[in-house]
Structure 1
């Protein structure tokens, strides 16, 4: 590599002495390395005479190709370095959905500003499907509702949100400042098969088990927007994270559940074999946003 760099310098300056000065080495060193390269190639790259140096035709072609190769190698080294530091590459993320203004939405927006050369790919799925894709190495991280303890995956809590109930604006409870689980025991709950539907279903069963009759829960193969439209029309009620209030739905009122003991936990799940610097940077940014949010 040193011989090649010094040969390119001689070709640029058409002078061994000027090339040596530019490189900060002796002229004899440059001359010896260029000569050694010519002997190794079996090609005369330069014509030397008392008036200076000029490239042979073979030398001109060699230098053009070699310079292009050096540029490509330099680009490859820089690209690899950026990938190693998490500044270039891709990050594949599994989510249950995004709400404008939510913690995850803000995290991803800030991440894309901070790391513009990372291609962020998004996959929307249930927690179960996201973890399955994680195990098949189709995504790098899954953001899911709940706390997970999986033998083959790492997980940690990233943020929390209070739990709220979504009811029609015409519902008899709509004017209250809050409700209890007892208030909701006889209601018709609507949940999705996809997204956070499975976790919502299990949470309702857990909270109402043993104290009231079997909760009435209907499951639908619909998108979140359709489910909320059904709530607005009075088909039933559903549960949401408080961030849903940042993106209001006409005809729906969100009420806090006053006896809900804990906020909803949102966790990141990823493979212990994933050494992605891009993923580490995402977690670092999440922790930074979390600290600033708590101190605000």
Structure 2
């Protein structure tokens, strides 16, 4: 197959031709480019011969574009602009300053660690479009494996053979009771105190993990354990607690929702704070992803682990 002429034209010839078209004078174009006038004249002449068309009409005071030359120069200028943009954009993407980042989350509560992280990242990297997808940990990891997400933030410290994961921050685990509950005025509560309660959890978000954690803590000591699942948002679940549907368990950031009619109590015998981790594919080399992970690590190091004696 014959090689297209465009692939054999030196970029220098095109740039010098554009300069001549701008100044309509070989000497002025050469001065602007910092090269010899003879070099510019020779390259433009060689280009015209390769194309088989006259780009410029020469006269004593300079040159004038032919109609074919005007058409050629307009399209070459557009092409070089596109090439320049592609080069600059590629560099920005390589540095994590441009592009798209798809993040799976369990919730985005204003003022929480995760919401603050996303907000700071967007401020520091305004050229990166951050797409947010809310779902359960299982859903987020499945989307990540299918290349539908770049990163997922999930509750717990999961380990996956095909994904990287890193603990980023932690929160105290709290019980949420109606404000009229007999324990509402207590400074804290134990799992044994909750054994006879009806628990309500969400089907989405961290609901499945909350369900499994309640079972882990109480299944052995509470054979009649009652856990009801509802397909509702976090705020609705808290309102249901206020209305007496049951109690639930949340991370401390949920207190930022300021829901009326409920009381948040620390669980005194919970062994450790609830961890939240970042999960991503080892094959994802995105600089935007690395920048977000670095910022998350930096913020996470600033958070002090709650003092157990304060529970």
Q: How would you bin the TM-score normalised by the shorter chain?
A: over 0.9
Normalization by structure 1: what TM-score? 0.94
The answer to whether the 8 Å contact 2:25/2:61 transfers is: no
1:61 counterpart residue number: 71
Residue 177 of structure 1 pairs with residue 191 of structure 2: no
1:227 counterpart residue number: 237
| Alpha-carbon separation, structure 1, partners of 2:196 and 2:71 | 84
| Alpha-carbon separation, structure 2, partners of 1:294 and 1:207 | 25
2:210 counterpart residue number: 200
Query: 1:150: Cα distance to partner?
Result: 0.8
Query: 1:293: Cα distance to partner?
Result: 4.2
| Alpha-carbon separation, structure 1, partners of 2:304 and 2:33 | 54
What is the RMSD computed on CA atoms of the aligned residues? 1.7
Per-residue CA deviations over 1:96-130 (Å, capped at 9, x if unaligned) read: 11111100011111112222222222211111111
2:261 counterpart residue number: 251
The answer to whether the 8 Å contact 1:45/1:59 transfers is: yes
2:284 counterpart residue number: 274
2:112 counterpart residue number: 102
Per-residue CA deviations over 1:12-52 (Å, capped at 9, x if unaligned) read: 11222221111111112111111111111111112223332
| Alpha-carbon separation, structure 1, partners of 2:114 and 2:14 | 50
The answer to whether the 8 Å contact 1:3/1:33 transfers is: yes
| Range with greater deviation from structure 2 (50-59 or 262-271) | 50-59
Residue 34 of structure 1 pairs with residue 7 of structure 2: no
Normalization by structure 2: what TM-score? 0.90
Residue 136 of structure 1 pairs with residue 171 of structure 2: no
Per-residue CA deviations over 1:185-229 (Å, capped at 9, x if unaligned) read: 222111122211111111111122434444322222222222211
2:132 counterpart residue number: 122
Query: 1:294: Cα distance to partner?
Result: 4.7
| Alpha-carbon separation, structure 1, partners of 2:135 and 2:156 | 15
| Alpha-carbon separation, structure 2, partners of 1:253 and 1:294 | 24
* Residue segments in structure 1 that go unaligned for 5+ positions in a row: none
Go from structure 1 to structure 2 and tell me whether the alpha carbon gap of 1:49 and 1:221 turns closer, same or farther (over 3 Å shift). Answer: closer
1:283 counterpart residue number: 293
| Alpha-carbon separation, structure 2, partners of 1:234 and 1:67 | 70
1:87 counterpart residue number: 97
* Residue segments in structure 2 that go unaligned for 5+ positions in a row: 1-10, 306-311
Q: Alignment partner of 2:132: what SS? A: strand
Residue 163 of structure 1 pairs with residue 173 of structure 2: yes
Per-residue CA deviations over 1:213-270 (Å, capped at 9, x if unaligned) read: 4432222222222221111112211000001111211101101111111111111111
| Alpha-carbon separation, structure 1, partners of 2:187 and 2:212 | 25
| Alpha-carbon separation, structure 1, partners of 2:22 and 2:304 | 58
The answer to whether the 8 Å contact 2:188/2:268 transfers is: yes
| Alpha-carbon separation, structure 2, partners of 1:291 and 1:218 | 36
Residue 148 of structure 1 pairs with residue 158 of structure 2: yes
